[in-house]
Structure 1
Amino acid sequence: MSATDTVTEPRTAPSPAEAPPARRGVVAIGVGLALVVGLAVLHEAGWKLASLYVVGLALGLVLFHSRFGFTSAWRQLVAVGQGRALRAHMLMLAAACVLFSVILGAGLGFSGATEGSVAPAGLGVLLGSFLFGIGMQVGGSCASGTLFAVGSGQTAILYTLGGFIAGSVFSAFLAPWISALQQTGPTVSFADTPLGYPGALLISLVIIGAVVGVSLLVERRRTPPPLSAPPTARGLLRVLRGSWPLWVGALALAGLNALTLLISGGPWGITSAFGLWGAKFLGWIGVDISGAPFWTDPENAAKLNASVLADKISVMDFGIMIGALIAAALAGAFVLHRRIPWRLAVGAVLGGIAMGIGARFAGGCNIGAYFSGIASFSLHGWLWGVTAIAGTYVGLLLRPLFGLGNPKPTDAVC
């Protein structure tokens, strides 16, 4: 990794002998903030959203400790043929598909009708995920990575988040064109077969197995550098101050997404909140964009007029950032970077803008479209993943322009 990547991407925790002491003051601030926000959500929106906020806290903890990456997984595969992180994706997706097949098939849930993330596999997904793939590599993180990196003190990612919000706000004015592009393809659910959800699960597991096989063939052909073993605490100390194995993160994320589905009636998503935050901020400073096509839709207008604490995605996003903050502080890894190279900052903003626009065209990000889409047995989730890898190729070519390095065949991949 280059020096700049140490700023933009969370790294693994040091060994116990080198581990810095917990940042007790930051831990106290994080816990206090978690309680205040949780009580505010409970007062504003009730127990269901408060429960989802707790799920968000858990997601932040898991994302930080497992360093579960989407951006780096695709970069490692494309740059040097290292597929271990991609195979962790497949474990996560397989576990989520099993859980979702039970929940959706039996109609389980606490919020009435339970629905997966099924959307058209059209030009919107192709264009949006391609832009998102480029933005991930230039901006230094994906949607989930942006939230937990900001929470864990990665100051450079604030630029990425700002660009993400700006791109999402701009997309509100493109809503008619976005909707038209999204409807150009068929809506395909693997569950719409005579075998229903059992058949959908079988189809998904076959595809997952094929992806694992291809990743192993790529590794055999390209002989990538070995993954460096991250130093970590041992025993019970590893839970709070160590680096978790990727497989633990994969299974935990699958379980938490299924829990989100059970509680809210829909799976995990992230990026729709960014446009809401941007619109509300602009309104706060006197710029009214409620007339933008996206916000004239009655459902969206109701969200704009309501509190962000009543919005499912916003509440979970807040939880992720605060959960990561607490986890990083307990691990002694919360460090604010005060000097950000200007080229890196420009790349972060531009990458965020590309992801903000791309997520809207694709109907979701690496979580809402890729993770939750595949777990919901929607073809568009697989299309999103494949096209994002194509965008990764372009993103890797652009990274050096912003002072970012790429893995080399002789480097150990972390």
Structure 2
Amino acid sequence: MPDRVTFAGSDSRALPVSPAVAVALSLVLGGAAWVGSAQGAQHGWLWLVGAGLGFVLHHAAFGFAGAFRRLFAEARTAGLRAQLVLLGLGAVLFLPVFAAAPGLGFEARGFVFPFGVATVLGAFVFGIGMQVAAGCVSGTCYAAGAGSPGAMLALPFAVVGATAAALTVDLWGGLPELPAVSLPGILGTAPALAVTLGALALAWVAAAALERRQHGAVQPIGGGGGLLRGPWPLLWGAVGLALLNLATLLIAGRPWAIVAALPLWGSLAVEALGWDDPAFWTWWQEPTRADWLFNPLLADRTTVMLLALMAGAMLAAALAGRFARRGGLTLGRAAGAVIGGLMIGWGGIVAGGCNVSAYVSGIASGSLHGWVWIAAALPGNWLVVAVAQRWSR
């Protein structure tokens, strides 16, 4: 995810009443009512949760790309430590739900997936792409909702990259991999939670020690903020995202996901333009995806939440008086949006997820693949930062 979209700063004046606020509020509330009436109450609630995610992401400027860039370029770790809070709180909320769900009679499954060469390759490319594009898929979407021209350019190219990955699944889908590993399945719920929290605590201590050694002090992630106008401290963002991810799990029966919507959008566009029939692609013949192409687009819960995320980010930006307050694209920024967008789309599909579905929701689900994903994505981020620093000398 990108850094906070840089607009004119907010102040303590009364909330602005503007066309952007009215439109965004209509999209959030009207969208929930429309989707709910067309696809059922579950989809309506998911629209509101998705809008909440966009609202939180924007106001807290909760980023992955920016956090990793500051980690490698400046040894600043506030963004990384906020991620660790999100992961830890997610595990605390998720793992007991998975254990209790069968006895309570409802479905709740985590993101526990196989991992292998494709995971490592895709995550590494994704890590490069998120720095080149200045954001991952969720960050690109929330920045696009807030009116960022670069993000609005990167998003369609992310769709292209994801669709290309789906089209070429025969080339990478057979790469060697290991079966899915669930820590709760192997260790039990309590030990798996203890192992996860212990690993996250070690990462926190290491990150804080690095920053303290380089700068003499550690930047806080807490503090106060304006609830409606923002900005929020990173801690608020971590807590808000964890709670909304839990709401997603309870409503949809699975955690927050994002990147899976992109090949669906692209494949429907390919079909509509008459370029090919994606129903015959190997990607869409997989049993869990077979019906997606034949259902209404808004029947896809990931699509619903992603569109709502953009509406929620627009509302947050409009309330703060920051909507679409950015200059035009430079040629370099435009090139980065195009190339980085292609890479995050392709890498997210090949890796089996992005920062949200693989890293955040995967680790919170107790899946080993989430740890493998971030271990492969971090070197990609580092590579771009290192090259950029060398060129700037």
TM value normalised by structure 1: 0.87
TM-superposed deviation, 1:318: 0.8
How far apart in 2 are the matches of 1:243 and 1:358? Answer: 31
TM-superposed deviation, 1:227: 5.5
Pair 1:393 & 2:382 matched: yes
Report what 1:280 is aligned to.
268
Report what 1:192 is aligned to.
185
TM-superposed deviation, 1:224: 7.8
Match of 1:207 among 195, 199, 210: 199
How far apart in 1 are the matches of 2:105 and 2:232? Answer: 33
Q: Give the CA RMSD over aligned residues.
A: 2.8
How far apart in 2 are the matches of 1:313 and 1:192? Answer: 26
Secondary structure of residue in 1 paired with 2:180: coil
Match of 1:261 among 249, 252, 272: 249
Residue 109 to residue 35, structure 1, CA distance change in 2 (3 Å): farther
Could you tell me which runs of 5 or more consecutive residues in structure 2 were left unpaired when the two chains were aligned: none
Report what 1:129 is aligned to.
123
Report what 1:221 is aligned to.
213
What's the % identity of the aligned pairs?
A: 36
How far apart in 2 are the matches of 1:81 and 1:134? Answer: 19
Match of 2:139 among 128, 141, 145: 145
Instruction: Work out whether residues 160 and 348 of structure 1, in 8 Å CA contact, stay in contact via their aligned partners in 2.
Output: yes
Instruction: Work out whether residues 137 and 258 of structure 2, in 8 Å CA contact, stay in contact via their aligned partners in 1.
Output: yes
Equivalent positions of 1:146-185 (< 5 A) are 146-181=140-175, 184-185=177-178
Pair 1:101 & 2:109 matched: no
How far apart in 2 are the matches of 1:80 and 1:224? Answer: 13
How far apart in 2 are the matches of 1:14 and 1:228? Answer: 21
**Counterpart of 1:264 in structure 2: which amino acid?**
A
Match of 1:325 among 314, 326, 338: 314
How far apart in 1 are the matches of 2:238 and 2:28? Answer: 24
Secondary structure of residue in 1 paired with 2:323: coil
TM-superposed deviation, 1:177: 3.5
**Counterpart of 1:199 in structure 2: which amino acid?**
P
TM-superposed deviation, 1:109: 10
How far apart in 2 are the matches of 1:93 and 1:12? Answer: 29
TM-superposed deviation, 1:220: 3.2
Residue 226 to residue 113, structure 1, CA distance change in 2 (3 Å): closer
How far apart in 1 are the matches of 2:202 and 2:340? Answer: 31
Instruction: Work out whether residues 153 and 338 of structure 2, in 8 Å CA contact, stay in contact via their aligned partners in 1.
Output: yes
How far apart in 1 are the matches of 2:322 and 2:127? Answer: 28
How far apart in 2 are the matches of 1:214 and 1:57? Answer: 34
Instruction: Work out whether residues 98 and 108 of structure 2, in 8 Å CA contact, stay in contact via their aligned partners in 1.
Output: yes
How far apart in 2 are the matches of 1:85 and 1:109? Answer: 38
Report what 2:75 is aligned to.
81
TM-superposed deviation, 1:113: 2.5
TM-superposed deviation, 1:289: 3.7
Name whichever of 389-398 and 340-349 sits farther off: 389-398
Name whichever of 290-299 and 321-330 sits farther off: 290-299
Instruction: Work out whether residues 78 and 221 of structure 2, in 8 Å CA contact, stay in contact via their aligned partners in 1.
Output: no
TM-superposed deviation, 1:288: 2.8
Could you tell me which runs of 5 or more consecutive residues in structure 1 were left unpaired when the two chains were aligned: 1-5, 409-414
**Counterpart of 2:344 in structure 1: which amino acid?**
M
Instruction: Work out whether residues 13 and 331 of structure 1, in 8 Å CA contact, stay in contact via their aligned partners in 2.
Output: no
**Counterpart of 2:19 in structure 1: which amino acid?**
G
Residue 229 to residue 335, structure 1, CA distance change in 2 (3 Å): farther
**Counterpart of 2:130 in structure 1: which amino acid?**
M
Secondary structure of residue in 1 paired with 2:168: helix
Name whichever of 34-43 and 195-204 sits farther off: 34-43
Pair 1:22 & 2:10 matched: no
Residue 13 to residue 83, structure 1, CA distance change in 2 (3 Å): farther
Instruction: Work out whether residues 10 and 229 of structure 2, in 8 Å CA contact, stay in contact via their aligned partners in 1.
Output: no
Report what 1:271 is aligned to.
259
Residue 211 to residue 178, structure 1, CA distance change in 2 (3 Å): same
**Counterpart of 1:131 in structure 2: which amino acid?**
V
Name whichever of 42-51 and 250-259 sits farther off: 42-51
Name whichever of 24-33 and 105-114 sits farther off: 105-114
Equivalent positions of 1:24-63 (< 5 A) are 24-63=18-57
Report what 2:231 is aligned to.
243
Pair 1:358 & 2:353 matched: no
**Counterpart of 1:87 in structure 2: which amino acid?**
R
Secondary structure of residue in 2 paired with 1:180: coil
TM-superposed deviation, 1:15: 5.0
Kindly provide the CA deviation profile for residues 145-193 of structure 1, in whole angstroms up to 9, marking residues without a partner as x: 1111001111111121122101011011222333323x51242211123
TM-superposed deviation, 1:348: 0.8
Secondary structure of residue in 2 paired with 1:240: coil
How far apart in 1 are the matches of 2:272 and 2:243? Answer: 37
Residue 229 to residue 371, structure 1, CA distance change in 2 (3 Å): closer
How far apart in 2 are the matches of 1:153 and 1:120? Answer: 37
TM-superposed deviation, 1:225: 8.9
Match of 1:71 among 65, 69, 77: 65
Kindly provide the CA deviation profile for residues 288-347 of structure 1, in whole angstroms up to 9, marking residues without a partner as x: 341322123354231111111100100000110001111111110002546211111111
TM-superposed deviation, 1:65: 0.8
Residue 225 to residue 343, structure 1, CA distance change in 2 (3 Å): farther
